[in-house]
């Protein structure tokens, strides 16, 4: 099979391969629920994260190798569904977290710009005595610069690729 036959985006998908002995390796040992409702094993998720960190960034596919005795279409579909649900949930959580961080950064930046604007207006129109302006400047100047600085330290979407949904499971 030649790689040229595939579109460019398929060539860039990295594989994360994991071997299991039973479906209990994927799901928590401490959860007595049926497999359709069981929580995923922290060890399994930790291993997937470790493997993801070892690969280059980008799209990836999870391949699970299991003994032939575990061959069961219904169970395989359920495992794929549960993994997709987990990664979708984590991606949604990360997206909400990133939105909250950006909102906080915007609020700090707006507060910083407002603080510096008030200081400029007080200085330009000399609404207070020189001593009053300098005392207020001692408070407003650091607030303004720290507020603006926090805007540039907020994470960007490129920094938050760790919990992306795999291309396929």
Which one has a higher pLDDT value, 10 or 12?
Answer: 12
* Burial degree of 93 (CB within 10 A; 0-12, 13-18, 19+): exposed
Give the model's pLDDT for residue 163. Answer: 45
Q: Whole-angstrom Cα distance, residue 144 to residue 121? A: 14
Which of these ranges, 14-18, 59-63, 150-154, 158-162, has the smallest mean pLDDT? 158-162
In a domain, 64, yes or no: yes
In a domain, 126, yes or no: yes
In a domain, 59, yes or no: yes
In a domain, 101, yes or no: yes
In a domain, 37, yes or no: yes
Give the model's pLDDT for residue 75. Answer: 85
In a domain, 20, yes or no: yes
* pLDDT tier at 143, thresholds 50, 70, 90: confident
In a domain, 168, yes or no: no
Q: Which helix (H) or strand (E) holds 14?
A: strand 14-19
- Give percent of the chain above pLDDT 90: 24
Total of domains in the chain: 1
In a domain, 169, yes or no: no
Mean pLDDT of the chain: 81
Expressed as residue numbers, the domain containing 45 is 3-160
pLDDT in tens, 91-140: 999 999 999 988 988 898 898 899 999 999 999 998 889 999 999 999 88
Q: Which residues contact 17 (CB under 8 A, 6 or more apart)?
A: 51, 62, 63, 64, 65
């Amino acid at each position: 099979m030649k790689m040229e036959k595939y579109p460019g985006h398929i060539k860039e998908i990295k594989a994360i391969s994991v071997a299991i002995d039973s479906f209990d390796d994927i799901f928590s040992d401490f959860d007595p629920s049926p497999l359709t409702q069981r929580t995923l094993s922290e060890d399994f998720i930790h291993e997937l994260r470790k493997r993801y960190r070892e690969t280059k960034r980008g799209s990836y596919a999870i391949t699970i190798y299991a003994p032939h005795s575990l061959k069961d279409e219904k169970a395989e579909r359920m495992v794929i569904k549960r993994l997709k649900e987990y990664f979708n949930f984590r991606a949604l959580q990360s997206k909400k977290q990133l939105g909250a961080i950006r909102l906080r950064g915007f609020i700090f930046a707006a507060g910083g710009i407002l603080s510096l604007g008030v200081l400029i207006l007080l200085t330009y129109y000399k609404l207070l005595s020189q001593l009053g302006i300098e005392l207020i400047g001692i408070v407003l100047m650091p607030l303004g610069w720290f507020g603006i600085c926090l805007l540039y330290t907020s994470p960007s979407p490129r920094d938050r690729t760790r919990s992306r949904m795999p291309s396929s499971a």
